Amino acid sequence: MLDTALWISQALILMALALNVYRMIVGPSMPDRLLALDTMYVNSIALIVMMGLWLNSKTYFEAALLIAMLGFISTVAVCKYLLRGDIIE
Amino acid sequence: MNWYVMLEGVISLLLIAGGAFAFIGSLGMAHLRDFYMRLHGPTKATTLGIGCILSASMLYFGVTAGQPVVQEMLITLFLFITAPVSAHLLAKTGLHLKLTHVEKTRGKPVELYREEVGEKPVPHPDKGHG
């Protein structure tokens, strides 16, 4: 039961990542692409957590935490650049 | 019915719900027509989906290892704190760049009266000079 649920959930997350890539390529403006990148970070965290469930190991959670922190910081940095034209004033 | 079978069912349900929520959020981001509409999908649905998946992982490792796990709790807490902040910054960026919005989007980017932005004063009928 758990294997089937993992397969279904991974397929759904993969489709979500494909939709994010579509929005990142097509996206008419810069904040659209930034939003797509931010969502890709979150979806990749989900994928890593499910890989940890699949391999039955707890090694990958530090990587997921690192991706979460760096994703937030990079989103804020690019937003500041678009807002002010400068990151650290 | 065995206790572990029930727990496995709960974990499977949480996993499928998380995947479905994340997919719905990304579908909304790819499908809607306006940046201010597209902001709704990832900020709410995808955050709920990742919360479901991390709860499933927390339950699984908590049962198999026999001790509570902290890392998933940290990731969940961090994502739930930072998702509104980044959404707010993205909305501010969209307003600053004056992105176009369709007619059906309610609430204009700058909600001021016309006389406050230097246009012709709007007559007020109840004041007697309109």
CB A80 within 8 A of CB A87: yes
pLDDT-based confidence at B110, cuts 50/70/90? Answer: low
Q: Mean of the pLDDT values across residues A69-83? A: 91
Q: Mean of the pLDDT values across residues B9-29? A: 92
Domain count of chain B?
1
pLDDT-based confidence at A42, cuts 50/70/90? Answer: very high
A70/chain B closest Cα distance in angstroms: 11
Residue B62 belongs to domain spanning = 3-101
CB A9 within 8 A of CB A50: yes
Of residues B9, B15, B82, nearest to A6 (C-beta): B15
Domain count of chain A?
1
Is A18 part of a structural domain of the chain?
yes
Q: Does the pLDDT value for residue B125 go beyond 70? A: no
Chain B contact set for A35 (CB, 8 A): 29, 35, 38-39, 42, 90
Chain B contact set for A82 (CB, 8 A): 93, 96-97
Residue A38 belongs to domain spanning = 2-84
Is the pLDDT higher at B112 or at A67? A67
pLDDT of residue A28: 85
pLDDT-based confidence at B2, cuts 50/70/90? Answer: confident
Can you tell me which residue has the tokens 């993992």?
A6
Is B39 part of a structural domain of the chain?
yes
Is A17 part of a structural domain of the chain?
yes
Q: What is the ipTM of this complex?
A: 0.90
pLDDT of residue B123: 62
Q: Mean of the pLDDT values across residues A17-33? A: 90
Residue B116, judged by CB atoms within 10 A of its CB (0-12, 13-18, 19+), counts as: exposed
Q: Mean of the pLDDT values across residues A61-68? A: 89
Is A71 part of a structural domain of the chain?
yes
% pLDDT > 90, chain B? 32
Listed in sequence order, the residues at least 6 apart from A39 whose beta carbon sits closer than 8 Å to its beta carbon are: A16, A20, B25, B26, B29, B42, B46
C-beta neighbour count of B9 within 10 angstroms:
14
Q: Work out how many CB contacts closer than 8 A connect A with B.
A: 160
% pLDDT > 90, chain A? 57
CA distance A32 to A45: 20
Mean pLDDT of chain B, nearest integer: 82
Interface test with B, best of A23, A35, A59 (most B CBs within 10 A): A35
pLDDT of residue B120: 63
Is A89 part of a structural domain of the chain?
no
Can you tell me which residue has the tokens 């690019």?
A78
Of residues A4, A16, A29, nearest to B99 (C-beta): A29
CA distance B14 to A49: 13
pLDDT of residue B118: 57
Is B61 part of a structural domain of the chain?
yes
User: What residue of A is the nearest CA neighbor of B23?
Assistant: A16
Is B22 part of a structural domain of the chain?
yes
CB B11 within 8 A of CB A3: no
Is B57 part of a structural domain of the chain?
yes
